[in-house]
Structure 1
Amino acid sequence: MSAPVAHCTADAAGTVVFELAGAAGPELVLRRRGGATPADEVRLPLTGPRAVLDHATPLAEGRWDIECDGRPVRPGTRDVRALVDRIPGAGPVTVRVPYPTADGRIALRSWVRAPHAEAGAIHLADGAMTVAGVLYGAGTGDGAAAEARRCEEGEGAPAPRTHRVPVTGGAGGAFTFTLPYAPLAEPAVTAPRLWDLWLLPAHGAAPVRLSRILDDVWDRRRIHVYPAYRADGWLAAPCYSGDNDLRVRLEPGDRHPAAMRTEAVRDG
């Protein structure tokens, strides 16, 4: 028996409607990858061929696999136009994007952020990146800053490093900052290096991860690939992680910029 097919429609409020073809089971089951609690499984009853994930149904941040009658569900058409250029309302920012997986299944990417710092246009010039964005669920105040945090993993990794630059706030939560690459290239860049970017809305405020999630793109690594800046001994460029979080990637200077962009897409 062939796997069922789901045609999906998502609205800006967070409701996703699944229209299934070839489904035999009584319900659609969503399971969060890596989850191990009852909240990591959501069951949606099928009414005829339709199952509805209502915007009010809690759904933790992460990637959710979908099955019906013990079988994975294949992707059909996806109408996610309502997610493009959306402006969230009050409360936590929630985003749910149905997407096709690399092995031919339908899955759902969920984000839940409160507050949320949405990255917008990125301007590259003079060895620096200038980021414009909007902060939802909080405002910027005295001492607002952007912070780059060096990503280090594994035994023997150096102590975490950070670098801050001031943030200029504007009306409606708008913010901008300029981050030079050079401080991120110290000490010498001898291997690939990643820096995660955070927004500190005000002095003493909790940091907010800089991301870009308010549209229909579930993985920005293949969508936003920026040109690399070449300096003496290193290359640098903005990139996004597989979770759509904004980063800066550095490479040793003997790498070709095109190779750096290819790796950012694959590994970012």
Structure 2
Amino acid sequence: MFTVMDRPCRSSDYNDLPEVMAADAALKPLQAALDELISFGSRACDSTPFAHGSIGGLLLHRHWEIQDGECMIERSGLHPSGRPALISSARPFGECTATAPSRFKVDPKRAELVALEFSADPSVLEMWRALNARRDVLDRLCEVISDSGLADKIGLGILARGLPIADGESLVEDNWEEQSVLSARILSPKDDEIVIQTSWPFVASEHGDAGAPVCVAYCFQAGSGSHTSEHYRLGSPPAKQLGMASLAVRMAQD
């Protein structure tokens, strides 16, 4: 049995996570093992409330560092364009009230599921309550990740989010000024050529063609640095918008 560590992890544990380019490079040679992990994770979700891809594997990486006594918390807000958004930033532990853990690392040696980030999004809160009530499923998923040999590269994530998404839109997370701002927009074909996949939904076989939302996350790799992209052109961009990184969550529907 794995012990669920649902309190914030140590800052050193979070800051030791690799940046997305390094994480992706380390995972690329292990595609067969990743495919097997996703297959087994999907089977573990058969006949459960999580069969539609609301949870899945997560590329272990970070965008920002946190200080002692802080954790990454996601709350509702607005994108600079005015779109509804979810904004993540490093906040004091005390602000974790009314949130749920959303991203985890599996520690096979200690048999622990360690919370890395938290969210106040209602969909995350609902999914965490359901998942926490099904410790049998949670334990099976931890075992899948542990047995895969990829626990240092792939974690467990709650992928469901409550943001409004129109047909053809994706959830895109822009990162600047030590904040991650998640909102819906359309990804262009050019965007598709410069993204790194960072999550893999567990979709049970009986729901594979049911048309339910499937959350697939990506990180842009283009720009002036290894993890930057001047992605939005909102008039003359202020200095804080230059050199921002982006993460996209594709909501695919039939």
Scaled to the shorter chain, the TM-score interval is under 0.3
**Structure showing greater Rg:** 1
Where is the helix percentage greater, Structure 1 or Structure 2? 2
With normalisation by structure 1, the TM-score equals: 0.22
With normalisation by structure 2, the TM-score equals: 0.23
